[in-house]
Structure 1
């Protein structure tokens, strides 16, 4: 049987998961707006009883597409997720294919918690898969474990020939749990939208803000491919003690672990902002000095800010409160480990052992000892290291190294920079008896000069600076242990506390460290 109907008379609700066309429309607000802006075919012809087998004819009676497309759905459904999949599946860019889909999947938990599976694929009449995505692909898995122990697994795939969504839960969810999962909808969509960009970006703040009273952990794994490039792979783990991120792509990889299990070392919003700003400046300086990949550095900086947001609410492994003088000697940030590693690149065909490389790492660790608040010690150590190598021209800005010796005019620089800041404070019988700061920074550059392939210079240039500061006087303390009087003392010393906090921040440049000590 052949059914021909005018599109002008077609009920948009009939264009459901069972009957779709590349030029058709789905009854959604966005799609109706798009359809109004495009030329409308004069008729849709459905051949036989094959669900989804549609050909579109122009007003002149010619085929709008040279090849018949058969669209196959796993289930015949008109739910919100299926309708959005039908709309997005027509798009070629990854950002449009994933637009709103992650949020729609999680928002579905507001009204139900059952398992769900849907997919749409396209093939020619000959059975060959068809692609409208221009080689862009994304495979995403979101695992959510509730505090009661229920595991929910959500997979979302955008492939060359279609879209797929699957939800599996190994137990019944309470209303609170469904609400908490749905609360991740915007954060999940933000993460997908960022990764679908070219170049990709990280937008994880919404994910990190999950309800950690109802949900025990959240894990996101995704691999995004844009064209022929190596996929960008992201693995994010969130729980009450750890926020861990690993990213890898063609340019390299980055890693960040934030320990949220010690909330007492978290400082005020102003302290955290000052420490984050100082840290980002360190990252920029390392990237500039070592020629780090701009995309990886940008992704890392975004992740560092986002995963250090509101970490104080996560939990604590200590019971002793810290006062304002303690916090002045600490960065105010959660402890962390971080690294950025660029993929080494051999850029000189005559000397393949000379590679352009960038390896940067940083960390902060804090320990609190003592049996009581009156007798305790606090130590916080910040460290950073950069090792890098790169080629640069002798003159000008252009470097074109080939197998021709005449092109072999360049400097080859190898960098090894190390910095550390260690703060120590000690209390005896409630009195601050020691507050010291040990800092050091060293930069070593090994420079080799080549002229027409011949080595003409080879020199090493070390620069270093270290200092030990006694901050006890700066943190002048009232003898009393009274809570009220102690608070007044803290307020009176606020300018000194701000100054002390500025001093304890890590300086990776010997020159900057020298200037900070004066």
Structure 2
């Protein structure tokens, strides 16, 4: 709620008249002292000012940090602004005792206020229905599955987080530890054009977490009817990334099951640079799309030995589908173009 409290002004210092204050040649007019006013802003008033003339229809009346962040983000016109900080805010909840979150908001015509964050009507059907979607699924070693989802539409924003069972303190800590990595992946995909930032998600605690899966489907500013999709999977044996969009498809697979004989970090870095150089040559010969090639190289680099602190691996396979006419094979990986 908005509270306004008036307190007397016991200091009767004369006040300048706005109309005369700009003239130094005339004496300032003396006005009667007026009471001071203290204004307290509630989330309702903040969300009302952010949304302009639009009312906010909320799924839940919960008053928490995630809801407050949504109230701020929904005013943004960019996807980066809509998703700003939300992934990290969700996973950070595991530092406390929260395991389940469900909230959505929709910009709607004026209605009757009843929510602490704005206007509450029938729950908007936004969960799982976004034009832009990012989801994260994490399975613990004990078999508990944690799911997170962010959905964005032109006139709404939704988030969900759930856990299939009670989590241990170690599991909560490991999940919260991925907050920055998840947000980094979100921020990359929310860029225009999208970029792939997965290195942080490969650095999960292998003694506590069994696997991490990320999926993103993002509308392109250049063509809102078309999307760029990303799928990522990492576990103790492999890492996989696949890309699909208007420019074509590409995939990377990294085998982490055999870590012997991979060489020193310096040797691995040289091997990575050699692979990237060969990809550039193959892309040039096959006239590959530059944007897709950039995302492919980002995905490849983020899945290689240099991206993870817990494991080292040799890239096993990579493939692309851009234009016919090119194929590259090298130790541990290959890239090809098909009709």
Q: How many residues align?
A: 289
Distance in 2 of aligned mates of 1:363 and 1:210:
31
- Equivalent position of 2:317 in the other structure: 337
* Counterpart in the other structure of 1:62: none
- Written as runs of structure 1 = structure 2, the 5 A alignment for 1:297-316 is 297-308=293-304, 309=306, 313-314=310-311
Which residues in structure 2 correspond to 1:377-416 (within 5 Å)? 381-382=331-332, 384=334, 386=336
CA distance in 1 between counterparts of 2:180 and 2:133 reads: 19
CA–CA distance in structure 2, aligned partners of residues 154 and 383 of structure 1: 32
Select which of 275, 281, 306 maps to 1:285: 281
Distance in structure 1 (CA, Å) of the matches to 2:338 and 2:99:
52
Structure 1 stretch 237-246 or stretch 72-81: which is displaced more?
Answer: 72-81
Once the two structures are TM-superposed, the CA of residue 112 in structure 1 deviates from its matched residue by 1.8
Task: Please state how far the C-alpha of 1:70 moved relative to its aligned partner.
Answer: 2.5
Alignment check: 8 A CA contact 1:212 1:314 kept: no
The Cα of 1:312 is off from its aligned counterpart by: 8.3
By percentage of residues, which structure has more strand?
1
Aligned to 1:435: none
TM-score relative to the length of structure 1 = 0.52
Query: Structure 1 residues 152 and 386, CA, compared in 2 at 3 Å: closer, same or farther?
Result: closer
Q: Which one is further off, 284-293 or 110-119?
A: 110-119
Any runs of at least 4 consecutive aligned residues in structure 1 with deviations exceeding 6 A, and if so which?
3-6
* 1:13-92 equivalences in 2 (<5 Å): 14-16=42-44, 20-23=47-50, 65=53, 69-92=54-77
CA distance in 2, matches of 1:175, 1:340: 42
Residue 141 in 1 paired to residue 144 in 2? no
Change (3 A) 1:384 1:108: closer
Q: Pick closer, same or farther for the CA change 1:311–1:122 going to 2, 3 Å.
A: closer
Q: In 2, are the aligned partners of 1:95 and 1:193 still within 8 Å (CA)?
A: yes
- Displacement of 1:138 in angstroms is 1.8
Which string of whole-angstrom CA distances, capped at 9 and with x for unpartnered residues, describes residues 132-156 of structure 1?
xxxx942111111000111111111
Q: CA deviation at 1:314?
A: 3.9
- State the SS of the aligned residue for 2:47: coil
Gaps of 5+ in 2: 6-36, 112-120, 125-129
CA contact (8 A) 1:153 1:167 kept: yes
Shift of the alpha carbon at 1:159? 1.5
Aligned partners of 1:109 and 1:182 also within 8 Å: yes
Match of 2:271 in 1: 275
- Equivalent positions of 1:358-369 (< 5 A) are 358=324
> Structure with the greater relative contact order (CA < 8 A, sep ≥ 6): 1 or 2?
2
Counterpart Cα distance in 1 of 2:203 and 2:295: 19
Residues 192 and 148 (structure 1), Cα distance of their counterparts in 2 relative to 1, 3 Å cut: same
- Pair 1:117-2:102 in alignment: yes
Against the structure 1 CA distance between its residues 78 and 386, is the aligned structure 2 distance closer, same or farther, given a 3 Å change threshold? closer
Report if aligned partners of 2:185, 2:196 keep a CA contact under 8 Å in 1: yes
Structure 2 match to 1:28: none
- Contact in 2 for aligned 1:150/1:170 (Cα 8 Å): yes
Contact 1:99–1:193 under 8 Å retained in 2: yes
Alpha-carbon distance change, 230 to 74 in structure 1, aligned in 2, over 3 angstroms: same
- Name the CA distance, whole Å, in 2 between partners of 1:312 and 1:161: 40
Distance in 2 separating the partners of 1:219 and 1:150: 14
| Larger deviation, residues 147-156 vs 306-315 | 306-315
Q: Give the match for residue 182 of structure 1.
A: 176
- Distance (whole Å) between structure 2 residues aligned to residue 237 and residue 359 of structure 1: 29
Give the deviation of 1:114 after TM superposition: 2.6
Q: Cα distance 1:163–1:77, how it changes in 2: closer, same or farther (>3 A)?
A: same
* Cα distance between partner residues in 1 of 2:326 and 2:4: 64
How far off is 1:125 after superposition? 4.0
Superposed CA RMSD: 2.9
Corresponding residue for 1:96?
A: 81
Measured against aligned partners, the alpha-carbon deviations of 1:325-354 in whole angstroms (never above 9, x if no partner) come to xxxxxxxx5141101112xxxxxxxxxxxx
User: Does 2:228 correspond to 1:232?
Assistant: yes
8 Å contact 2:251–2:319 — kept in the other structure? yes
List alignment gaps of at least 5 residues for structure 1: 25-55, 57-64, 131-135, 316-332, 343-356, 365-380, 390-518
TM-score normalized with structure 2 length: 0.77
